[in-house]
Amino acid sequence: MSTTEEHANEVPAEIADKKETTPETKKESAIGYVILFFFVGLIASLIVGWIIFPRLLYSQKSQPFDFNHAVHLDLVDEGCQSCHYFREDGSFSGVPKLAQCIDCHEEVNGEDPNEEIFVTEYVWKEREVPWLIYSKQPDCVFFSHVAHVSEDSLYDGKDCVTCHGYHGESETLRPYQYNRITNISRDIWGHNIAGFARNSWDRAKMDDCAKCHAEARDAASRRNLKAPTTRFITNIIDVAFPGTRPAGKGSSVQTERGACFECHK
């Protein structure tokens, strides 16, 4: 082949580049950019939603002074109930009042600066300590401790650890975190922003209560099995005359008529 024919058959570089850029190539390039932007946006959203947003949503406060549960737990005979006890009427005392502490802390006993703050600022001035309660429920919620922890309760006498974790073994008090909008303790929702809980004490939301109530109801139902005919008649009564049949021990407040008002007074 002559040199003239070779030059004639050669395709200019610009034309060759234009031939390579086909509509299919442009489409593939566009899809690649879309996928890239998607993953960049996804990662940015996760960072904002899981890291930045919780820091903006929640604030924290320090307790009036630090408190060592472990030291006090070794000095009492009845564990948590020595300070957090039930009154004669069955109501729960909650956080100890000043009168419970004065017997041992009328004077400063050691060199602990936290005890000094307690004695000088609260005991001597007869002021109650304004503790920030981690498990404090909203004012609209009514909760009965005695119905959950007594040995003959529906829930087989839950231990304090079940809901509060190993708080009694702690040597320091962690900061109190609360929602800036609702002022509700973060312990109610849980420290995981997605609401995941590894342990029973990781959060105290209403649906956590419903889970236990449903399990207790199902367990009671299995213990009190009825004949098919009896169950059929009972169901007809419940549908035709709701709320007229007394709730059994296994009934859940979430499934009874007026259930919302059991907790939301």
Q: What letter would DSSP give residue 172?
A: S
pLDDT in tens, 164-195: 888 888 999 999 999 999 888 988 888 877 77
In the chain, where are the structural domains located? 3-58
8-36: per-residue pLDDT in tens?
555 455 545 554 566 677 777 778 888 98
Strand partners, 60: 177
How far is Cα 54 from Cα 120, in angstroms, rounded to an integer?
37
Query: Position 231: which residue type?
Result: R
Torsion of CA 53, 56, 61, 67, to 10 degrees: 20
One-letter amino acid of 195: G
The better pLDDT of the pair 153, 240 is held by: 240
| Token pair for 73 | 């737990």
Which residues face 62 on adjacent strands?
Answer: none
DSSP string covering 101-137, please? HHHHHSS--SS-HHHHHHIIIIITTT-------TTPP
Write the pLDDT tens digit of every residue in 112-157.
999 999 999 999 999 999 999 998 888 777 777 877 776 655 445 5
**Closest alpha carbon to 109 in 125, 126, 128, 123:** 123
